[in-house]
């Protein structure tokens, strides 16, 4: 979602190397590729369309094959002008699950956690905190995360933080993301890796997924233009047409505890948001990892 910083590719484009093995009965078999399974859409992708006709747009989203939805807190609130229970009822009718939502986690959070839990949501998520002046500032935010995570835990759901690139860029010799991960409790807080922003920061998403296995439980699948320059911040393209090797990255994610795969797109060259959302779904339906 919001945010901008330097961009740099980190090697996720690298082709998979094929290794020839002796064709003997003792040769271990390669694990069979599998489909991605259910995947979701971050409604921020359709931020210009949703306010006009929430129900109509959600019906289209369901028709594309999305089984999960991640929301955000806009002018109509978390539930698009409906009560939480009415929103869930409509999602049930469409055969989709409202898994998570980005929200203002510093305002009325107890109420939001209770409402989310009532309708079976899994997560409330901090979408953005911004680059801080000092490392101690990140530690203070981690303390605030822990308090919000406790509120979620009390209600039977989870709290998570969605990254931008600033937390994967070293500041005074440390990665802010390390500070967040190491100063929050794994027992009650998870993380949502926005893979696009990790790549934009010049970091390796697979290395981070392995470093903090089972901490990144949600991810944003957002592709980056093959022609993007390091300084290009707004370089989102249809998934599968960009520079990120999602087949490999998502394979590593699935091996390290990833549970929710959520599409997000913010730019739509020669397309529209709804057409891009459909194109993204078509790609993921055929993707094997």
Q: pLDDT digit string (tens) for 85-134?
A: 999 999 999 999 999 999 999 999 999 999 999 999 999 999 999 999 99
The share of the chain scoring above pLDDT 70, in percent, equals 89
Look at phi and psi of residue 250 and say left if phi exceeds 0, alpha if psi is from -120 to 50, else beta. Answer: alpha
Cross-strand bridge partners of residue 162: 192
> By residue range, what is the domain housing residue 280?
40-286
CATH number at residue 160: 3.20.20.150
Give pLDDT, residue 30. Answer: 53
Residue 3 has pLDDT above 60, yes or no: no
Query: Could you tell me the pTM of the whole model?
Result: 0.89
Give Cα 30 to chain centroid, integer Å: 29
Q: Is 33 among the domain residues?
A: no
Kindly state whether residue 11 falls inside one of the protein's structural domains: no
Mean pLDDT of the chain: 91
Q: Is residue 23 part of a domain?
A: no
**28 in any annotated domain:** no
DSSP bridge partners of 68: 40, 97
pLDDT in tens, 169-183: 999 999 999 999 999
Q: In whole angstroms, what is the distance from residue 4 CA to residue 171 CA?
A: 16
Total domains in the chain come to 1
Is the distance from CB of 87 to CB of 58 less than 8 angstroms? Answer: no
Q: Give strand pairing partners of 288.
A: 35
Q: Residue 235 falls within a domain, yes or no?
A: yes
Tokens of 195: 């893979």
> Does a structural domain hold residue 12?
no
Whether 62 is in a domain gets the answer yes
Tokens of 181: 């991960």
Is 160 inside a domain boundary? yes
């Amino acid at each position: 979602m919001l945010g901008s910083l330097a961009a740099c590719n980190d090697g996720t484009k690298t082709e998979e190397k094929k290794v020839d093995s002796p064709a003997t009965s003792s040769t271990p078999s390669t694990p069979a590729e599998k489909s991605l399974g259910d995947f979701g859409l971050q409604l921020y992708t359709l931020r210009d369309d949703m306010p006009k006709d929430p129900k109509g747009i959600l019906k289209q989203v369901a028709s594309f094959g999305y089984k999960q939805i991640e929301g955000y807190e806009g002018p109509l609130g978390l539930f698009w002008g409906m009560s939480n229970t009415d929103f869930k009822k409509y999602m049930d009718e469409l055969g989709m699950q409202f898994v998570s939502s980005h929200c203002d986690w510093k305002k009325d959070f107890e109420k939001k956690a209770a409402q989310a839990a009532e309708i079976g949501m899994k997560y409330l998520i901090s979408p953005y905190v911004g680059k801080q002046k000092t490392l101690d500032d990140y530690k203070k935010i981690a303390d605030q995360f822990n308090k919000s995570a406790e509120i979620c835990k009390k209600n039977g759901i989870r709290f998570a933080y969605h990254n931008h690139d600033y937390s994967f860029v070293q500041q005074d010799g440390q990665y802010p993301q390390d500070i967040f991960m190491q100063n929050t409790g794994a027992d009650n807080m998870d993380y949502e890796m926005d893979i696009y922003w990790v790549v934009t920061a010049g970091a390796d998403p697979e290395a981070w997924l392995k470093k903090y296995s089972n901490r990144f439980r949600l991810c944003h699948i957002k592709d980056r233009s093959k022609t993007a320059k390091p300084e290009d911040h707004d370089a989102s393209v249809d998934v599968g047409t960009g520079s990120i090797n999602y087949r490999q990255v998502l394979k590593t994610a699935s091996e390290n505890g990833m549970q929710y795969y959520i599409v997000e797109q913010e730019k739509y060259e020669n397309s529209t948001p709804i057409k891009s959302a459909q194109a993204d779904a078509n790609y993921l339906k055929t993707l094997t990892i």
